[in-house]
Amino acid sequence: MLRFIIRRLVITIPTILVVITITWGLIRLAPGNFYSGEKAIPAAIEKNIREKYGLDKPWYEQYGRTIWNIVRHFDFGTSLKYEGQSVNSIIARSLPVSATVGILAYLLALVVGIIAGSIAALKPNSKRDHASMALAMLGISIPNFVLGPILVLIFSLTLYWLPPSRWNGFPSRNVILPVITLSGLYMAYIARLTRAGMIEVLRSDYIRTARAKGLSETQVVIRHALRGGLMPVVSYTGPALAFLVTGTVVVERIFLLPGLGNYFIQASLNRDEPLILGIVAFIAITLLLMNLLVDIAYAYLDPRIRY
């Protein structure tokens, strides 16, 4: 197990460097510059700008310096657009917003998805099963940027129950709509995975044994079946986290939340190279570490798995 973790960590570092290199290469290969969107500038001023940002050096030197600062000091430099703010401080400020929405949405999706999936699995091919699975398919098919505004239309603009946008700290009513919007897709996926996993487990021998012992159906499901039936859900957590990142980008745009995703989109539009690199690297690191954690959890939950 320890060897597995170490091996995975050893692969992780080059992977992150690959991500940073691809991103850096894309930004540099594209025609134009972060200041080329502005009006035409005199040659002397352009020379100064290039000097200030080290753009007059050969590309390998610029690349080397960027990587060195990241590897050595975990320093992505200062943003080109938000002058005087370091990339690290922007990430530190916006991360809590994204993390709050993301984690709450995933928890909500887990609770609702597992309950709905189990209910469907207990009576396969019943009306209940078909209804909840059709609902789940609907959840997968409705894009969250359509779902979000429709929820706003209903709950904010028509019923006046909830605020339509803006961030207002964590325990506030502003969180509710973004969280529901974000969790819709995962709820649906988790319900489908739970159903599939549970149906398979409920057919297995150890469940028959548990029933034969005279345990109540509730006990069989909660104590025995769920543990095995939830394995697909656990392994889905990895991909889910990746989708969660894209999901939060959309939700932050819809509800105007000052999160990582919103900054990332702004940075991409502004060609704010240090900020793009910083956020991409941060997301890559988070995803890779989370995937590792998921694999460890998987081994822990399923004693048959050995690395």
Partner 1 sequence: MPVPQMNEDRPTIAGDFEKPETGGVIAGTSLWRAAWRRLLKNRLAVFGMIVVAIITVASLFGPFVIKKLTGITPDFIPSDVTLLRSIPPLTAPDGSFSWTHPMGTDNQGRDVLARVLQGGQISLMVGIIATLVSLLIGVSYGATAGYLGGRIDNLMMRAVDVLYSLPYIIIVIVLLAVFKSQTARGQVVLLFIALGSVSWLTMARIVRGQVLSLKNQEFVLAARATGVSTPRIIFRHIVPNTLGPVIVYATLTIPTVMLTEAFLSFLGFGVQPPLASWGSLATDGIQNIGIFPWQLVFPGVTMALTLFSLNFLGDGLRDALDPQGSRR
User: Which residues of the shown chain bind partner 1 in the complex (CB under 8 A)?
Assistant: 11, 15, 18-19, 22-23, 26-27, 30, 32, 134, 137-138, 140-143, 145-146, 149-150, 152-153, 157, 192, 195-196, 200, 242, 245-246, 249-250, 253-254, 264-265, 268-269, 271, 276, 279-280, 283-284, 287-288, 291
Neighbouring C-beta atoms of residue 87, cutoff 10 Å: 26
> Least distance to partner 1 from the beta carbon of 238, Å?
8
Task: Give the HSE-up count for residue 229: Cα atoms under 13 Å, Cβ half-sphere.
Answer: 33
Tell me how far CA of residue 278 lies from CA of 20, 92, 158, 201, 240, in angstroms: 9, 11, 40, 43, 22
As given in the structure block, the two tokens for residue 199 are 């149906």
Q: How far is the CB of 268 from partner 1 (least distance, A)?
A: 4
Nearer Cβ to partner 1, position 99 or 196?
196
Q: Smallest Cα–Cα separation from 222: which of 110, 119, 303?
A: 119
Closest CB to partner 1 among residues 110, 276 = 276
**What is d(CA 27, CA 228) in angstroms, rounded to the nearest whole number?**
46
Based on CB atoms, which residue is closest to partner 1, 105 or 245? 245
- In the complex, least distance from residue 27 CB atom to partner 1, rounded to whole angstroms: 5
Nearer to partner 1 by Cβ, of 77 and 139: the residue is 139
Question: Looking at beta carbons only, is 205 or 214 nearer to partner 1?
Answer: 205
> Is the Cβ–Cβ distance between 76 and 274 less than 8 Å?
yes
- Residue 175's nearest CA partner among 97, 292, 60, 112 is 97
- Closest contact distance (angstroms) between CB of 305 and partner 1 is 17
Closer residue to partner 1, CB minimum distance, 62 or 291: 291
Q: What angle do CA 2, 21, 253 make, to 5 degrees?
A: 95
Q: How far is the CB of 161 from partner 1 (least distance, A)?
A: 16
We find the least distance from the C-beta atom of residue 131 to partner 1, in angstroms, to be 12
